[in-house]
Amino acid sequence: MDAKTKYKAKKIKAVFFDIDDTLRIKDTGFMPDSIKKVFSALKAKGIVTGLASGRALYGVVPEIRALEPDYYVTINGAYVVDKKGQEIYTDALPKEVIEKYVTWCRQVDIEFGFAGGQKPAVSKRDDLVDNAIGPVYGQVDVDPDFYKHSSVYHMWTFEDQGDVLQLSDDLLKDVRLVRWHENSSDVIKNGISKASGLAHVLEKLNLKPENLLVFGDGPNDMELFDYAGLSVAMGVSDPELQKKADFITKTEEDGILYALEELGLVEKELHFPQMDLTAVQGPIATIKTNHGDMKIKLFPEHAPKTVANFVALSKDGYYDGVIFHRIIKDFMIQGGDPTGTGMGGSSIYGDKFEDEFSMEVFNLRGALSMANAGPNTNGSQFFIVQNSKLPYAAKELERGGWPAPIATLYAEKGGTPHLDQRHTVFGQLMDEASFQILDAISAVETGAQDKPVEDVVIIGVEIED
**Domain edges within the chain:** 3-85+193-263, 95-189, 273-464
User: Quick one: how far is CA 451 from the chain centroid?
Assistant: 46
Q: What pLDDT is recorded for position 392?
A: 87
pLDDT in tens, 230-286: 999 999 889 999 999 999 997 767 899 999 998 999 988 788 999 999 999 999 999
Torsion of CA 287, 290, 293, 296, to 10 degrees: -30
Please, what's the b/e burial string for 39-55 (b: 16 or more CB within 10 A of its CB; e: otherwise)?
bebbeeeebbbbbbbbb
Minimum mean pLDDT among 39-53, 154-168, 245-259, 405-419: which range? Answer: 245-259
Q: Which CATH architecture has domain 95-189?
A: 2-Layer Sandwich (3.30)
Find the radius of gyration of the CA atoms of the chain: 30
Q: Does the structural domain 273-464 have CATH classification 2.40.100.10? A: yes
Q: Could you give the percent of the chain with pLDDT greater than 70?
A: 100
Please determine whether the domains at 95-189 and 273-464 fall in the same fold group of CATH. Answer: no
Collect all residues with Cβ–Cβ distance below 8 Å to 63 and sequence separation of at least 6.
Answer: 24, 31
pLDDT in tens, 62-116: 999 999 999 999 999 999 999 999 999 999 999 999 999 999 999 999 999 999 9
User: Quick one: how far is CA 287 from the chain centroid?
Assistant: 35
Alpha helices in 116-175 (DSSP H): 127-137, 169-172
Helices 255-263 and 34-44 cross at an angle (nearest 10°) of 30
pLDDT in tens, 323-370: 999 999 999 999 999 999 999 999 999 889 999 999 999 999 999 999
More confident residue, 269 or 132: 132
More confident residue, 269 or 159: 159
Q: What pLDDT is recorded for position 158?
A: 97
Would you give the end-to-end CA distance of the chain in angstroms? 31
| 3-state class (DSSP) for residue 66 | coil
Active site residue ranges: 18
Neighbours of 139 (CB within 10 A): 9
Please, what's the b/e burial string for 413-449 (b: 16 or more CB within 10 A of its CB; e: otherwise)?
bbbbbebbeebbbbbbbbeeebbebbeebbebebeee
Mean of the per-residue pLDDT values of the chain: 95
| 367, containing H or E segment | strand 367-370
CA atoms of 416 and 371, how far apart (whole Å):
13
Q: Are 56 and 75 in contact (CB under 8 A)?
A: yes
Q: What pLDDT is recorded for position 180?
A: 92
Task: Give yes or no for residue 1 having a pLDDT over 80.
Answer: no
CA atoms of 266 and 336, how far apart (whole Å):
40
**Across 223-356, where does the E strand assignment appear?**
230-233, 247-248, 284-289, 292-298, 326-328, 332-335
Collect all residues with Cβ–Cβ distance below 8 Å to 54 and sequence separation of at least 6.
Answer: 20, 75, 76, 178, 180, 186, 194, 220
* Residue 33 burial (10 A CB sphere; 0-12, 13-18, 19+): exposed
CA atoms of 137 and 242, how far apart (whole Å):
28
Helix, strand, coil % (nearest 5) of the chain? 35, 25, 45
Collect all residues with Cβ–Cβ distance below 8 Å to 145 and sequence separation of at least 6.
Answer: none
Using pLDDT thresholds of 50, 70 and 90, give the confidence band for residue 9.
Answer: very high
pLDDT in tens, 188-240: 999 999 999 999 999 999 999 999 999 999 999 999 999 999 999 999 889 99
Task: Give yes or no for residue 36 having a pLDDT over 90.
Answer: yes
Q: Are 398 and 342 in contact (CB under 8 A)?
A: no
Q: What pLDDT is recorded for position 137?
A: 95
Q: Are 14 and 202 in contact (CB under 8 A)?
A: yes
Collect all residues with Cβ–Cβ distance below 8 Å to 218 and sequence separation of at least 6.
Answer: 18, 20, 21, 180, 237, 238, 241
User: Quick one: how far is CA 312 from the chain centroid?
Assistant: 29
CA atoms of 336 and 324, how far apart (whole Å):
7
Q: What pLDDT is recorded for position 3?
A: 84
User: Selecting from 3.40.50.620, 3.40.50.1000, 3.30.310.50, 3.30.420.130, what CATH number does the domain 3-85+193-263 have?
Assistant: 3.40.50.1000
Collect all residues with Cβ–Cβ distance below 8 Å to 356 and sequence separation of at least 6.
Answer: 302, 303, 304, 305, 306, 424, 426
**Whole-model pTM?**
0.68
Angle at CA of residue 366, ends 363 and 367, nearest 5°: 40
Phi/psi of residue 427, nearest 5 degrees: -175, 175
- Is beta strand 247-248 parallel, antiparallel or unpaired with respect to 230-233? parallel
**Sheet of 152-158: strands edge to edge?**
141-142, 120-122, 111-116, 152-158, 184-189, 175-181
Q: Are 174 and 189 in contact (CB under 8 A)?
A: yes
